[in-house]
Amino acid sequence: MLCTFAKTGTNWMFEILMMILNRSANRVEANKMLTMLESVTAEEADQQPPPRVVNCHYPPRYLPLEGMRAKQIKTVLCIRNPKDTAVSYYNHMKGLRPYNYDGKWEDWLPVYLQGKLEYGKYSELLEWQRKVQNGPGFPLHVMFYEDLKMNGREEVEKLLKFLDIQLDEQLRNDIIDKCGFKKMAEEKGSNKIFDVYCKPGFHFFRKGQVGDWKNWFTVAQDEMFDKIWENDTKGQDTFKFKYTHTNA
């Protein structure tokens, strides 16, 4: 199971997980939409050949937690700092045809913070925080988008250990290389399914940067964001996000 909020690395992690499960660095032909809980029925997901990575953007309260506990489903939670997530989400909505959206950033940001989008408030991520603290009852591995971006090799090693899968060094290197953002954008971005849904000139794999939010947020918007985020998460421990790229 792969759990994410929208625009926090779902396609990226899906590709990595599928390559690991397939024991192959060949580009993954399956699309995550074929096993996405909000996009298909259980029967349709079951029809996909194994290995399968079921994925979703849902908070825990909407997941089949009893079944996940009973079957001890290994679950990967990938999270990203909320400011870069906001920028990516905005461009996602502007760039995809089905949204039919062409609004301005300054008008969109307050709507995002109010949670008036299809997946609600990103601050509801704290539901996952409580699961981590209290123990979800099934194997859960938390990955940060920023750590994967800045230290992919170490993060993939942790993921392999969690999955209890051993790969030889060459295959590990090949998977890390193939799942670098530039190669993902070049080789997966030309997929016909993206051509159908994307407006002309929009690339589904846009930047994948850590800290791009600084190119979008004004000082006033940044202060507003921090104030609302702090209010939404008051009195609760939150995941420790990285907002800038480091060499760590």
What's the CA gap between 202 and 37, in Å, rounded? 26
Compute the mean pLDDT over every residue in the chain, rounded to the nearest whole number. 87
Judge whether residue 202 has pLDDT over 70: no
Give the model's pLDDT for residue 209: 78
Q: Give the DSSP per-residue string, 44-66.
A: HHHTSPSS---EE---GGGS-HH
What's the CA gap between 21 and 17, in Å, rounded? 6
Domain that holds residue 71: 2-232
137, two tokens: 């009852």
Domain annotation covers residue 135: yes
Sign of CA dihedral 128, 131, 133, 136: negative
Q: What is the DSSP letter of 27?
A: P
Residue carrying the six token digits 């507003």: 224
Residue carrying the six token digits 């938390």: 142
Judge whether residue 5 has pLDDT over 90: yes
Q: Which three-class secondary structure state does DSSP give residue 136?
A: coil
Domain annotation covers residue 148: yes
Q: pLDDT tens digits, residue range 120-158?
A: 999 888 889 888 888 999 999 999 999 999 898 999 999
pTM as predicted: 0.89
Query: Rounded to the nearest 5°, which phi and psi values hold at 9?
Result: 105, 25
Domain annotation covers residue 60: yes
CATH classification of the domain holding 124:
3.40.50.300
Q: pLDDT tens digits, residue range 210-243?
A: 899 999 999 999 999 999 999 998 867 678 899 9
Q: How many domains does the chain have?
A: 1
What's the CA gap between 146 and 151, in Å, rounded? 8
Q: pLDDT tens digits, residue range 80-116?
A: 999 999 999 998 888 887 888 899 999 999 999 999 9
Query: In terms of C-beta density within 10 A (0-12 exposed, 13-18 middle, 19 or more buried), how is residue 98 classed?
Result: exposed
Domain annotation covers residue 120: yes
Domain annotation covers residue 197: yes
Radius of gyration (Cα) for the chain, nearest Å? Answer: 18
Judge whether residue 51 has pLDDT over 70: yes
Domain annotation covers residue 237: no
Give the model's pLDDT for residue 33: 86
Domain annotation covers residue 162: yes
Mean pLDDT, rounded, for 197-220: 77
